[in-house]
């Protein structure tokens, strides 16, 4: 995946100079290094409240900002090549703090059933694919959501029969926290349960009246996921990762935090980076909690590991609970719409062991926690794992439902709240049914997080949601869906300003991986990362829905991503 052929460098956007006079910003300092560039074109929005946009930024040969200007200087700094970026506005480079990079690419090659209004509609899509691809031994894909089905009940294996083939069908729920299978899948689940002696902690196999698996497993373990997956090769992984990198760059991202990556995925990503010499987006990798991860870490020195150009291992990811939509999120009190259920919770000792091992390797732990019980246990684990040791940049992924009294613990521990704005607009249709009105206080609470002084990093959880940061900013600012519903926003007291949302995607994401002294700002000494849009959506929240990315700059390297 060579950027000149896949994304294209900014050929044709370099110009010889500018005639507009201007004075340097008082924060400007130092001479411009040979081979430096002066970036002009859009208004550079610093994302500082009350600050006027910049008109030009001088960048040294090392990719770091040397000076910022309120007006385009004339003549330009000596020996500087003037680069005119396309677009109306540029913001500090946006980083998605929670993606599943290989899944983004993989999803492009599997059956997409997002929006299906019934099990019958899904069955029809499976049958159509089998007619088109009779060679497929296994049909995988996802995007189903029982909340869209007429009775809002989980589907069964019987709903996937009569699709024109007898091979395995395995479809992930829209949040990735449940898998729906046909009869062939049920047989595999029964064999797995027999071999394992039952369900593993944290997973739930739904059963019918006869006691047999009904066809849905909630929060399956990695072992069960492998049983229900099609085989993959190194070539598959490289292809999926390439698609994911391109999608991230075209969405306007300059970096991503790759969550729960396998060592095999890490090695494939590193192979791409070494072959190309650079990637269109930087990738901060959080490895998953498995034997291969610990063996890999044991073979490397403590602390973050630079594996290849633009690829760095920065932490370990574990799962405390499941998701709200599949009732796997661990709650302190039962679900309002399922009084006998409190969700699924990983053993606290398992989480603590992983956190301590990560810390022993000099790496923070990132704990997936969605329910209020899941978040409370995650906080307990982080506090216990640290003991009297140094406070690493430990983080809780999602932090969707938090007991109000636990926000002070987030602040006291300095735990990063890694949240995804579009989860709120995706979940608002069922969240109150799951939680009841009272527990919505403290749910998807971005304003509360900032007001409490808790570090906030924004992401998407792609491919669960769109990788587009523009859509995330829109959700954070309006708390409305794409149709403008509900008017004024869902739980509107938790809305953010556009600049606050941009900071969560830039400075917040940089802070989460201990890069806040180097990235996330348009200021001298910082690495020059930028995301350019065709409109200034900071003035009109609805404009984020249509804002098009025109270019990105990653470490001083410009990319034309408009094609």
Pairing of strands 204-207, 253-261: unpaired
CB contact set of 470 (below 8 Å; sequence gap of 6+): 251, 252, 533, 537, 544, 545, 547, 549
Quick check: 125 and 169 in contact, CB under 8 A? Answer: no
* pLDDT (0 to 100) of residue 124: 94
Distance in angstroms (rounded) separating the CA atoms of residues 543 and 504: 19
Strand partners, 443: 401
Alpha helices in 109-220 (DSSP H): 119-132, 183-196
* pLDDT (0 to 100) of residue 424: 97
* Core vs surface per residue 333-347: b (16+ CB within 10 A) or e: eebeeeeeebbbbbe
* pLDDT (0 to 100) of residue 383: 97
Distance in angstroms (rounded) separating the CA atoms of residues 388 and 313: 25
Distance in angstroms (rounded) separating the CA atoms of residues 405 and 411: 11
Distance in angstroms (rounded) separating the CA atoms of residues 76 and 64: 17
Distance in angstroms (rounded) separating the CA atoms of residues 365 and 318: 8
Cβ burial of 480 (10 Å; 0-12, 13-18, 19+) is buried
Distance in angstroms (rounded) separating the CA atoms of residues 255 and 94: 7
CB contact set of 422 (below 8 Å; sequence gap of 6+): 460, 465, 466, 471, 472, 475
Report which of 280, 289, 293, 264 is spatially closest to residue 467, judged by C-alpha positions. 280
Q: To which residue do tokens 């610990």 refer?
A: 294
Check residue 52 and report its DSSP letter.
Answer: P
Distance in angstroms (rounded) separating the CA atoms of residues 305 and 320: 25
Report which of 351, 347, 266, 344 is spatially closest to residue 317, judged by C-alpha positions. 351
Quick check: 61 and 68 in contact, CB under 8 A? Answer: no
Cα distances (angstroms) measured from residue 461 to each of 57, 74, 97: 32, 44, 8
Report which of 366, 452, 337, 369 is spatially closest to residue 404, judged by C-alpha positions. 452
- Angle at 420 (CA atoms; ends 417, 426), nearest 5 degrees: 140
Strand partners, 111: 141
Q: What is the DSSP string of 359-381?
A: HHTT--EEEEE-SHHHHHHHHHH
Pairing of strands 81-84, 89-92: unpaired
DSSP H/E element including 223? helix 222-227
Q: Chunk the chain into consecutive blocks of 10 residues (it has 563) and report each block's average pLDDT, rounded to whole numbers.
A: 35 34 37 70 95 96 95 87 95 98 91 94 94 87 92 93 88 92 93 91 91 93 88 92 97 98 98 95 97 98 97 98 94 96 96 98 98 98 92 96 97 97 96 95 95 98 96 98 95 97 98 98 98 95 96 94 78
Cβ burial of 23 (10 Å; 0-12, 13-18, 19+) is exposed
Strand partners, 173: 144
* pLDDT (0 to 100) of residue 522: 98
* pLDDT (0 to 100) of residue 51: 94
Check residue 24 and report its DSSP letter.
Answer: B
CB atoms within 10 A of CB 437: 8
Evaluate the CA torsion angle 469, 473, 479, 480 in order and state its sign: negative
Joined tokens for residue 408: 């002070």
Distance in angstroms (rounded) separating the CA atoms of residues 369 and 418: 10
Return the biggest CA–CA distance within the chain. 81
Distance in angstroms (rounded) separating the CA atoms of residues 236 and 398: 29
Please report, for the chain, how many H helices and E strands are present, in that order: 17, 25
């Amino acid at each position: 995946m060579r950027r000149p052929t896949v994304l294209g460098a900014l050929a044709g956007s370099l110009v010889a100079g500018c005639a507009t006079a201007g004075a340097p910003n008082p924060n400007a300092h130092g001479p411009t290094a040979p081979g430096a560039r002066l970036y002009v074109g859009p208004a550079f929005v610093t994302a500082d409240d009350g600050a006027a946009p910049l008109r030009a930024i001088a960048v040294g040969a090392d990719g770091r900002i040397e000076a910022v200007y309120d007006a385009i200087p004339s003549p330009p700094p000596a020996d500087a090549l003037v680069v005119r970026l396309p677009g109306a506005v540029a913001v500090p480079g946006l980083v998605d703090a929670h993606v599943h990079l290989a899944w983004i690419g993989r999803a492009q090659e599997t059956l997409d059933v997002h929006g299906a209004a019934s099990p019958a509609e899904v069955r029809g899509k499976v049958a159509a694919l089998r007619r088109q691809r009779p060679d497929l031994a296994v049909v995988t894909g996802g995007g189903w959501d029982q909340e869209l089905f007429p009775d809002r009940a989980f589907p069964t294996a019987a709903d996937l029969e009569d699709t024109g083939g007898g091979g395995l069908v395995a479809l992930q729920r829209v949040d990735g926290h449940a898998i729906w299978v046909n009869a062939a899948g049920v047989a595999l689940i029964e064999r797995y349960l027999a071999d394992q002696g039952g369900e593993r902690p944290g997973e739930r196999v739904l059963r019918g009246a006869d006691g047999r698996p009904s066809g849905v497993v909630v929060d399956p373990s990695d072992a069960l996921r492998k049983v229900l997956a099609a085989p993959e090769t190194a070539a598959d992984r490289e292809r999926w990762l390439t698609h994911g990198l391109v999608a991230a760059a075209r969405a306007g991202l300059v970096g991503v935090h790759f969550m729960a990556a396998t060592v095999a995925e890490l090695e494939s990503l590193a192979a791409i980076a070494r072959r190309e010499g650079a990637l269109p987006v930087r990738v901060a990798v959080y490895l998953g909690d498995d034997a291969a991860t610990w063996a890999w870490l044991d073979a490397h020195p403590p602390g973050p590991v630079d594996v290849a150009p633009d690829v760095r291992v920065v932490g370990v990811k574990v799962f405390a609970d499941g998701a709200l939509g599949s009732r796997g999120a661990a709650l302190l009190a039962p679900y309002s719409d399922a009084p006998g259920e409190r969700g699924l919770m990983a053993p606290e000792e398992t989480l603590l062991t992983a956190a301590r091992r990560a810390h022993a390797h000099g790496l923070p732990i990132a704990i997936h926690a969605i329910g209020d019980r899941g978040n409370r246990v995650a906080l307990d684990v982080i506090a216990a794992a640290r003991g009297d040791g140094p406070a690493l940049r430990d983080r809780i992924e999602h932090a969707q439902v938090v007991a109000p009294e636990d926000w002070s613990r987030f602040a006291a521990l300095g735990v990063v709240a890694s949240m995804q704005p579009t989860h709120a607009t995706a979940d608002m249709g069922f969240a109150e049914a799951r939680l009841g009105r009272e527990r919505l206080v403290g749910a998807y609470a971005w304003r509360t997080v900032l007001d409490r002084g808790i570090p906030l990093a924004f992401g998407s959880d792609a491919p669960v949601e769109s990788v587009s940061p523009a859509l995330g900013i829109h959700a954070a600012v309006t708390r409305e869906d794409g149709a403008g519903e509900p008017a004024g926003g869902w739980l509107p007291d938790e809305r953010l300003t556009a600049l606050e949302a941009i900071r969560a995607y830039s400075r917040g994401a940089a802070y989460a991986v201990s890069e806040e002294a180097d990235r996330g700002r348009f200021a001298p000494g910082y690495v020059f990362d930028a995301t350019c849009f065709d409109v200034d959506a900071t003035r009109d929240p609805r404009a984020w829905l249509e804002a098009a990315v025109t270019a990105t700059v990653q470490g001083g390297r410009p990319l034309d991503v408009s094609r």
